[in-house]
Structure 1
């Protein structure tokens, strides 16, 4: 096992199912796409997660949760136990009912350590709403008001769901209309990596997170961008237990990157983007 001096894991799922039977698409992505084992759908244990983070050098993790109170509770429990280690990413937003959804989001953000909100265009509305659609605009406006980053799934989804809505090009108009919005593509951008890189060069407010993407399989074009113009743009995450945290950190540490570039990827970019900071070593 490889350790690093410091890292932030920006997407961890303490409960993929929220205590319910897994949906069929999640079973399919587990068995057909990731070839995941039994642990794939199991809830994470607080002590085991903290121990694993300590062994690897991971100082902090952002836990994915849903705005629905039942799903939010488990992730929020972790954050309350160790506020210096955990904060929340909030998804499950009903963008077709914007006002009650945004009121609920504002309430959660006021009472819990929320680091970002998350939307997956392929995972709702039968994939009919790409992120440039006006249905997202109330969320973008509220996120700017709350100074909350918005994380948007990009790239073809692993489950058998419509994928066109997750083409990065749909963020082109979003970045132009909302230059104040802190926007991050998550789960990579396969097979549209070059489009994602071109958009990040074009827009200062756009970043990319490599969650659910094995670091050793990152494309050469993205690694080149990380070494050059994109050193401050690419953010590490595992999406554990989908991609185990130990595997993600170990593979990231072995990338052919200069130490300063690796530190930006594993830690400093997330510290700046999600936590408005720049903690010294």
Structure 2
């Protein structure tokens, strides 16, 4: 099947070649995805744009860090803001006020599509998303109408993953119905829980980043064909999984054309990019 006429890739990593990767990243590369060291090589922007163009990808969201303004991610965004936006992580939620001031400053300077947190990747997985340590961030994201993406599902690295069970978002969605919330990296092995939560809460979405589309479970595809056509968002997590591979596999999924278009383009446009294109964020409150 040919490439789509339009798509957005909502998670790519152009910074892997900036510095030596930690041991846990090398283990997930070797043991989980079984990729060679080229995954950690530098990215040439022209080649990235060529691959995006070949696969109909109009915009891509690159991973960034609120504490690092000298990275390939920043250089990509500054050079081509029409094609690249940022997701920003690196937030120390145990020091909420300095971290939120950094976040406020960062999004004032760059086109940030969403903030991101991996519950299993800090605090030894001791803080699931319904813990109060996240509440200042939830409040700030609501204030700014800034989407927040949280890793769900067992992580690839050999670290404790129970904090990423989607059930922890149940109480979050009850207490923060205004929060534009998206589960990222799928939800394995808790796909059914994730689907049930999305049925229950209008503000909750899911991104299939880091999942080869051909391995998505039938329960999720059934949800997409029925009540969930507006809830599932495409992301490759390139270079871990390439843009070309994931787009190609998405095109071969058994989905109606309108559902596939929403998956690859429309849902991301509504959830991430319409806000970016509507003008500057509202001013901070209380700083």
SS state of the match for residue 266, structure 2? helix
1:137 corresponds to: 135
In 1, are the aligned partners of 2:92 and 2:99 still within 8 Å (CA)? yes
1:138-217 matched pairs, under 5 angstroms: 138-217=136-215
2:11 corresponds to: 11
Which stretches in structure 1 are left out of the alignment for 5+ residues?
Answer: none
The normalised TM-score by structure 2 is 0.94
SS state of the match for residue 238, structure 2? coil
Distance across 2 between alignment mates of 1:144 and 1:82: 28
1:29 corresponds to: 28
Distance across 2 between alignment mates of 1:246 and 1:190: 23
Q: Note the alpha carbon deviations across 1:170-192, whole angstroms, 9 max, x for none.
A: 00011010000000000000000
1:166 deviation in Å? 0.1
Distance across 2 between alignment mates of 1:11 and 1:2: 22
1:76-91 matched pairs, under 5 angstroms: 76-91=74-89
SS state of the match for residue 242, structure 1? coil
SS state of the match for residue 69, structure 1? coil
Distance across 2 between alignment mates of 1:67 and 1:39: 26
Q: Note the alpha carbon deviations across 1:103-153, whole angstroms, 9 max, x for none.
A: 000001111000000000000000100011000000000011111100000
Distance across 2 between alignment mates of 1:13 and 1:108: 18
Distance across 2 between alignment mates of 1:198 and 1:105: 31
1:2 deviation in Å? 4.0
2:125 corresponds to: 127
**Paired positions, count:** 276
Distance across 2 between alignment mates of 1:260 and 1:252: 13
In 1, are the aligned partners of 2:14 and 2:63 still within 8 Å (CA)? yes
In 1, are the aligned partners of 2:124 and 2:160 still within 8 Å (CA)? yes
1:250-269 matched pairs, under 5 angstroms: 250-269=248-267
Distance across 2 between alignment mates of 1:228 and 1:45: 40
1:276 corresponds to: 274
In 2, are the aligned partners of 1:211 and 1:239 still within 8 Å (CA)? yes
In 2, are the aligned partners of 1:115 and 1:274 still within 8 Å (CA)? yes
1:16 deviation in Å? 2.7
In 1, are the aligned partners of 2:15 and 2:71 still within 8 Å (CA)? no
Distance across 2 between alignment mates of 1:34 and 1:129: 26
Q: Note the alpha carbon deviations across 1:85-106, whole angstroms, 9 max, x for none.
A: 1100001111111011000000
SS state of the match for residue 189, structure 1? coil
1:28-47 matched pairs, under 5 angstroms: 28-47=27-46
In 2, are the aligned partners of 1:2 and 1:249 still within 8 Å (CA)? no
Which stretches in structure 2 are left out of the alignment for 5+ residues?
Answer: 278-287
Distance across 1 between alignment mates of 2:273 and 2:21: 32
